[in-house]
Amino acid sequence: MKKNKADYILDFRGSLSSISLLKMSRIFKQMKSRQVMEILGSDPDLQKDLFKVLPESSYDLVFMNIVDEEDYYRVQIRKRQ
């Protein structure tokens, strides 16, 4: 899938998972439809939990990749209408 320019970039590298999920959820609720959020993280538990916090019908996964040389991951999601 093609990467989009993110409307919101959340850098959670080195952050606590539960606080990061709350912040992501709050910002996602404020987003307009079709806006894109990019999440950067290093905690594998956070990566798994990202998709449990938001209803599956509320977003589309734009892309997800792991940046091996820097040991973190990038996820982009687009809010549905």
Per CATH, domain 8-79 is 3.30.110.40: yes
Which pLDDT belongs to residue 2? 53
Which residues on adjacent β-strands are paired with residue 11? 40
Q: For the chain, 81 residues long, give each residue's pLDDT as a single digit of tens.
A: 455 689 999 999 988 888 899 999 999 999 999 999 999 999 888 888 888 899 989 999 999 998 877 789 999 999 998
What pTM was computed for the model? Answer: 0.86
> What per-residue confidence (pLDDT) applies to 35?
97
Q: What is the pLDDT, as a whole number, of residue 46?
A: 84
**How is the chain split into domains, by residue range?**
8-79
- Residue 51 CA to residue 69 CA, distance in Å, equals 25
